[in-house]
Amino acid sequence: MNSRFFKTALFFVAACAQINWAAAQINPLNSPQKVVGSVITTDQVRAELMAFVPDGVGPGKPVWVGLQIAHQPDWHTYWKNSGDSGLPTVLEFKLPAGMDPGEISWPTPKKIPIGTLANYGYEGTVLLPVPLSVAQNFNTSVNGGQLEIKLKASWLVCKKECIPQEGDFALSIPVKGSTAIHAAAFQAAFDATPKPIKTTASLIEVAGNALKISLSDLPASLRGKTLAFFPETGNVIEPAAKWTQGWQGTVWTAQVPLSAQRTETPTVMPVVVALDKTAYRIEAPVKGEWPKVAAAAQMPLALEAAPKANASSGAAPTQASATALTFWAALLGAFIGGMILNLMPCVFPVLAIKVVSFVNVKDQRTRVSTGLAYTAGVTLSFLALGALLLGLRAAGEQLGWGFQLQSPAVVSGLAVLFTLLGLNLTGMFEFGNILPSSVASLQARNPTMDSFLSGVLATAIASPCTAPFMGASLGYAVGLPATQALAVFAAIGLGMALPYLAASAVPAVARALPRPGQWMVTFRQLMAFPMFATVVWLVWVLGQQSGIDGAGALLGLLVLLTLVIWALTLKGRARAVIATLSIAAGAYGVWAVGLNITRIQESGSPSNTLTHGWQAWEPGRVEQLTASGQVVFVDFTAAWCVTCQYNKKTTLSNASVLADMAAKKVVLLRADWTRRDPAVTAALTQLGRSGVPVYVIYKPGRAPVVLSEILSVEDVRAELAKL
């Protein structure tokens, strides 16, 4: 396998990356919804970016913007403290220089009962106003006197099910004119916002497993009335529990039960009390000693709070018999996982042919230099991928390891690449016959660069594969400082490169290989079949993402690719005619597949068929089930995850395992990550993981148990026996 092979293969890798980038620009599932304007409408809400600037834009003048959300009946979004479950709406503004956004002025919420739980949120129509501060040196003539406001918003809208949604908004208003078309909506929001009360007599006292609240200086119009109560600090009280209230003269008192999953111990608690449409906010000091939180109760029910104890200590939830994961354990796990990557069918042919190539290299120094170059190519590529992942996550993207294969465009591109590699290995064509001579002679001129690019190619085709021992290490890595996180990615690269480096440095390996001969041709042709097997897997993955039409379109493209390659190997006049026609047909195939991918991405086709009692995972579903006393088993999986499919066939569909699940009345949920799903990514991150597979057993009132990535029937049944 020569330099021409690798450099052309790398060209296809780069092309796949470009296809993925282009697809991300049009894929509403892989990027925020692009909107030219200020309104986004879904089946659940209508969201609009509004502005209220009555006196124009300038220092000291009132400048307000806000997102108004109009909910369909029975749907709701959340307050800053969402209660037992849910997520507050997040607003991220992009403003011109000299302007800064303030905090959301949250209108008073309502309590929304959900079974045995209770949330704090909004139904009907709500406007979330945000004040903008204007600097003294603000340029009022910027953009021709127009103020350009951009907003990236995300919200969780729930009924019985919950749907995370997001969108990009844009609004342009005159700097010197008055913008007050939505004045009534903003005034209603201002009226619904709790009015602050400064008091030195109010107090919150911790009394056993309850809070005793005494609020003074409330308006006389509230005295003797029954008030609604909303704490701004989450994960402290039981929102759905019964509580008492009363008046002692001018002081309003209440006793509220503490949450069994309490994770906060504030010294000051901002609280809101409300009567009808009038609400007041008081920051009350907290006195008394907070009760200790039981170890089993450190797992809050809200999705966004799981599991804080592990996150704060830098450790992921562990297996039942495992010890806390340390940085050195993460390095070791990553190193071992990197070694195992060499056994993947898409990687093994590259490694095997490179080792076999030592037969023709008699000079030990040359072998060692090529081994070091290959190692550098693998390690630096993993560092680059790790840096890209960390950078995108720092920029707010919800990504995890293996995110490449969540894009149908990348899956299609890799299928094309592996088909090309397989055809070359069979001997159907040589790159020297279709590439310029200056490119074809690169191997002879620079074998070290050839080995380096071999390492880059091996990383490109190995990175999506999932190997044992890597899940916890990668999940741990993404939460570390950048230097330590990159060390974990480097350990994966070193582990993957070690077999080739050892073979290049040990002369006995080269001496043990048979002499050059026909066997090398046969071996090279044999290595084509793991490549073709990988193509079959990728076509199946695309079928899971897009259905039979997508898989059929990809197969058609691969046939056209083979036709193009065959035409380029012809001689004489026939080559020009047939090659021209086949290249035109191939170009049409690329266009057709691209059109099909666009349609797939816009339709959001389901990728996973649920059988044997499995239900679709949804945000907040686990919390609802465990709150009602049920045990839940969650399978975080993806169609492109080889280990996931192995476990599904050998363990999760095993009759004895399913019988035990049914006997214990365990609810089976499957979280499908085949295509990008920010909610699944967030759940994995909160579990301390960055990729799939992940298998979790949730027990009411206890911390979740994360099982091994490689499941066995015996291990799962043993864990179920503890229920």
What string of DSSP letters covers 655-720? Answer: HHHHHHHHHTTPEEEEEE-SS--HHHHHHHHHTT-SSS-EEEEE-TTS--EE--SS--HHHHHHHH
Q: Which residue has the higher pLDDT, 45 or 534?
A: 45
| Cα–Cα distance, 476 to 325 (Å, whole number) | 8
Q: Could you tell me where the DSSP H helices lie in 97-150?
A: none
| Cα–Cα distance, 327 to 330 (Å, whole number) | 5
Question: 3-class DSSP state for residue 446?
Answer: coil
Residue with tokens 């073709």: 532
Residues 54 and 183: beta-carbon distance below 8 Å: yes
Q: Which residue has the higher pLDDT, 37 or 253?
A: 253
Which H, E and C letters describe 532-584, residue by residue? HHHHHHHHHHHHHHHCHHHHHHHHHHHHHHHHHHHHHCCCCHHHHHHHHHHHH
Q: What's the whole-number mean pLDDT along residues 483-488? A: 81
What is the pLDDT at residue 8?
42
Residue with tokens 């008081």: 282
Say if residue 467's pLDDT is above 60: no
**Numbered ranges of CATH 3.40.30.10 in the chain:** 615-720
pLDDT of 494-545, one tens digit each?
A: 888 888 888 888 877 766 766 666 776 787 788 778 778 878 877 877 776 6
What is the pLDDT at residue 514?
64
What's the pLDDT band for 441 if we cut at 50, 70, 90?
very low
Please, which residues bridge with residue 76 across strands? Answer: 158
| Cα–Cα distance, 56 to 582 (Å, whole number) | 63
Q: Which residue has the higher pLDDT, 481 or 470?
A: 481
Radius of gyration of the chain (CA): 30
What is the pLDDT at residue 287?
93
Nearest of 234, 282, 256 to residue 121 by alpha carbon: 234
Say if residue 385's pLDDT is above 70: yes
Say if residue 28's pLDDT is above 70: no
**Numbered ranges of CATH 2.60.40.10 in the chain:** 39-193
Q: What's the whole-number mean pLDDT along residues 100-107? A: 94
Q: Which residue has the higher pLDDT, 644 or 462?
A: 644
Q: Which residue has the higher pLDDT, 302 or 369?
A: 369
Q: What's the whole-number mean pLDDT along residues 162-176? A: 87
User: Which string of DSSP letters, residue by residue, matches 224-292?
Assistant: T---EEEESS-SSB-TTS--EEEEETTEEEEEEEBPTT-----SEEEEEEEETTEEEEEEEEEESPPPP
Please, which residues bridge with residue 49 across strands? Answer: 67
39-193 — its CATH code?
A: 2.60.40.10
pLDDT of 621-655, one tens digit each?
A: 888 888 888 899 999 987 767 677 778 888 988 88
Say if residue 413's pLDDT is above 70: yes
Residue with tokens 């055809």: 423
User: Which string of DSSP letters, residue by residue, matches 486-526?
Assistant: HHHHHHHHHHHHHHHHHHHH-HHHHHHSPPSSHHHHHHHHH
Residue with tokens 């363990």: 651
What's the pLDDT band for 250 if we cut at 50, 70, 90?
very high
Say if residue 10's pLDDT is above 80: no
Say if residue 283's pLDDT is above 80: yes
Which of 18-32, 384-398, 488-502, 703-717 has the lowest average pLDDT? 18-32
Percent of the chain with pLDDT over 70: 71
The H or E element containing residue 205 is strand 203-207
What's the pLDDT band for 586 if we cut at 50, 70, 90?
low
What is the pLDDT at residue 580?
67
203-298 — its CATH code?
A: 2.60.40
Percent of the chain that is helix, strand, coil (3-state, to 5): 45, 20, 35
Q: What's the whole-number mean pLDDT along residues 286-305? A: 55
Q: Which residue has the higher pLDDT, 37 or 99?
A: 99
What's the pLDDT band for 195 if we cut at 50, 70, 90?
very high
| Cα–Cα distance, 641 to 406 (Å, whole number) | 10
pLDDT of 539-582, one tens digit each?
A: 877 776 666 767 777 788 788 788 777 777 776 666 666 666 66
Query: DSSP state, 53?
Result: B
What is the pLDDT at residue 475?
55
Q: What's the whole-number mean pLDDT along residues 339-367? A: 71
Residue with tokens 């001018």: 250
Say if residue 491's pLDDT is above 50: yes
What is the pLDDT at residue 594?
57
Domain range 615-720, its CATH number among 3.10.450.350, 3.40.30.10, 3.30.1330.60, 3.40.50.620:
3.40.30.10
Q: What is the mean pLDDT of the chain?
A: 76
| Cα–Cα distance, 702 to 706 (Å, whole number) | 12
Q: Which residue has the higher pLDDT, 689 or 49?
A: 49
Q: What's the whole-number mean pLDDT along residues 668-679? A: 82
What is the pLDDT at residue 9?
45
Say if residue 390's pLDDT is above 50: yes
- How long, in residues, is the chain? 723
Residue 476 tokens read as 């741990």
* Whether residue 239 has a cis bond before it, omega within 30° of 0: no
